[in-house]
Amino acid sequence: MIQQLPTPADTKAYGHKLAKLLKPGDLLVLTGPLGAGKTALTQGIAAGLGVRSPVTSPTFIMARVHTDGRVPLVHVDAYRLGDSPDLAGEIDALDLDVTAEDAVTVVEWGSAVAHRLAEDYLEVRIARRDDSEERQAELVAHGTTWPARLSSS
């Protein structure tokens, strides 16, 4: 399922729409090159979850927790975590104030780590041409629950 996203505002709106599918315990993995729109998509997801605090890239702190929405949002940048032999331990060491079962977790740069975090997750592959703001987002279901959830939406 590929979605055309002509502008950054469309990327945020798509994230807002995706938020309607999400519930506590869900893991979303965002993949795509630098500047593809992963943070913009996360901002839309946050808005759809009712998060009122600013959502910015967690690149330098690795994770941010937003607890002011209908469901807590954990926003992780896994760019520097991909090679870790103890990814789960490193994420636990971030002391996020909320457990993954109680929150929606969005992991940017997560393709190398997703399978170590959960069997069921939704991957959002974002592509962007160098000469355009237009993006394409593709949803890829992993595990047993996401295919049915996507087909019923």
pTM: 0.86
pLDDT band at 4 (very low <50, low <70, confident <90, very high): very high
Closest CA to 26 of 147, 152, 145, 125: 145
What secondary structure letter does DSSP report for 14?
A: H
pLDDT band at 77 (very low <50, low <70, confident <90, very high): confident
With left for phi above 0 and alpha for psi between -120 and 50, is residue 72 left, alpha or beta? beta
Task: List pLDDT tens digits, range 40-54.
Answer: 999 999 999 999 988
Mean pLDDT of the chain: 84
Report whether pLDDT(61) > 80. Answer: no
Looking only at the bridges linking them, the beta strands covering 135-142 and 121-128 are antiparallel
Report whether pLDDT(139) > 90. Answer: yes
| More confident site: 82 or 11 | 11
Closest CA to 66 of 83, 48, 93: 48
What is the spatial distance between Cα 76 and Cα 108, in angstroms, rounded to a whole number? 6
C-alpha distance from residue 70 to each of 46, 50, 79, 105, 150 (Å): 10, 6, 28, 14, 21
Show the tokens assigned to 15. 């994230």
Sequence letter at residue 130: D
Task: List pLDDT tens digits, range 115-130.
Answer: 667 789 999 999 987 7
Give the rounded percent of residues in the chain with a pLDDT score beyond 90: 46
